[in-house]
Structure 1
């Protein structure tokens, strides 16, 4: 698994040699820092959709919860980020030293699941932007593919477990 992780990371990081790809990947990484893009999107959804404001706010809370959960897992697992030993020079700075799971992927997947369930007019944009953000973290060289996959799974699972609460029902 480690060898495959490193080979996939190297291939994706090589995509960042194209200046346009690197610029887009940096922008997505910056926008996703601390889940900012996804939290802002949830708050915009809550402001725009008065009928489902509560569901939007709870979906935003679940997105934040997925991000926080991933940060907690990082503190337990403590996997170092890719580096020179992997032949990877990161294109961005990171808030922390630990890689597993990707918090960007956790909040992106959580937002895609939560906001997609609310079916707003712009919901079709969330999954591709979330996927692009996940890939961007490998293009900028700060996560292994397994970090991103685990983060996305954690984010989707967090929202799935909170779906009933998000839609106004009591939590089990």
Structure 2
């Protein structure tokens, strides 16, 4: 992988990073990892809030983290094809990265963090479109933070964002129908654990309410 095209931009960003106050650098270091946890929390909230609703809502809420995980696997596979060394080792004249440079063999292209962020942002936006106003900026900030702390080239994070978003969108949209049917089947189960996972849906809940009222 020819990384010379964005090496100068990498140097500019990392030089800027080292000129920022230490508290800002620590904030960037925190966000580069904590952002992933926040996406995970959003996934859980979306799944939980979808359980009392329609089966398609549950299907896409369940698919969102799965699609993001598949995007990550695609990113990890590409790393083994391109085997691009990290810029914190390869870019001549660049200062030390703000975080420890990953070891040789932990390749740079594409950025796994950015792939996960891009996939999560788009998958969540499919589940709840209004959340795109939150998740897209989150993903962009996470991608930028990977360059800011010095462990990725700009093209690593740009490709990662696109890869994650495209793969996640395709998985969610193409698999929503079959998974919706699976959810509907699971909702006929007598197992409490199964019903806890997929919820009973508004209609089933209403039916139980009517039966309870009739017995009174």
Alignment TM class, shorter chain as reference: 0.7 to 0.9
Larger Rg, first or second structure (1 or 2): 2
Inter-partner Cα distance in structure 2 for 1:75 and 1:153: 19
SS in 2 for 1:16: helix
* Residue 146 of structure 1, CA deviation: 1.0
Does the CA contact (< 8 Å) of 2:122 and 2:132 recur in 1? no
Question: Cα offset for 1:37?
Answer: 3.8
Relative to structure 2, which stretch is displaced further, 49-58 or 87-96?
87-96
Shift of 1:91: 1.6
CA contact (8 A) 1:39 1:63 kept: no
Label 1:111 to 1:85 Cα distance change in 2 as closer, same or farther (>3 A).
closer
Q: Does 1:90 pair with 2:97? A: yes
Give yes or no for contact 2:124–2:131 (8 Å, CA) kept in 1: no
Contact 2:110–2:159 (CA under 8 A) maintained in structure 1: yes
TM-score, length basis structure 1: 0.85
Unmatched runs of 5 consecutive residues or more in structure 1: none
The change in CA–CA distance for 1:66 and 1:36 in structure 2 (over 3 A counts) is farther
Contact kept in structure 1, 2:67 and 2:119, CA below 8 Å:
yes
For this pair of structures, how many residues does the alignment match?
168
Q: In the TM superposition, what whole-angstrom CA distance separates every residue of 1:78-109 from its partner, at most 9, and x where no partner exists?
A: 11101255214222234862100000110111
Among 13, 25, 30, the residue aligned to 2:28: 25
Q: Indicate the residue corresponding to 1:159 in structure 2.
A: 168
Report how far residue 162 of structure 1 moved.
Answer: 1.4
